[in-house]
Each structure stands twice: as structure tokens, then as C-alpha cells.
Amino acid sequence: MTAEELITQLQKLPPETPVLVEGYETGFDEIVELTPEQVVRYRHAQVWDGEYQALGVCAAEVRFWHNKPKIFRQQDV
């Protein structure tokens, strides 16, 4: 999803609607921070891996990298 697509979806909601992310194992958490992160698509991701990895983690895989926002929940901060 792009930022534009996300903004379009968020504009449909009342402004006081909480925006949540998945919890560590169960439930949901509030977003507490949003930071830019350089990432690459991880072509060999397992089902438990994220679709993207930090730029330095997959150096051998780097063909294209992206600046993507990283969303933090309370436990990550």
C-alpha cells in the first residue's frame, strides 16, 4: 500500500478513530511513532518474515531499495 492509498482510506474515517497495528502475539496496539527506514523487498522471506528487510540485513539481495515509514507500537519504543 502506498502513502496515497493509505491517506485515501484514512480520510473515510472519523478523525478520532484510533489507528492500530497488530500486537506482538495477539490483539492490537496504538501507533506511537513513525520513522523513515531504508528497506529492500526480501525475495526469500519465510511466512514468519516480513516482506521487507532493513537495507543492511539483506546486502546480497539489494537490487532496489525504498524509503518506507516504519511504524512503532508502544513495546517497540
Q: Which residue has the higher pLDDT, 66 or 9?
A: 9
Spatial separation of the C-alpha atoms in residues 32 and 71, rounded to whole Å: 8
Confidence grade of residue 16 (pLDDT, cut at 50, 70, 90): very high
pLDDT digits (tens, 9 = 90+) for 20-75: 888 888 899 888 888 888 888 887 778 877 888 887 765 554 444 455 566 666 66
Give the residue extent of every domain in the chain: 29-77
Indicate yes or no: pTM above 0.75.
Answer: no
- CB atoms closer than 10 angstroms to residue 32: 13
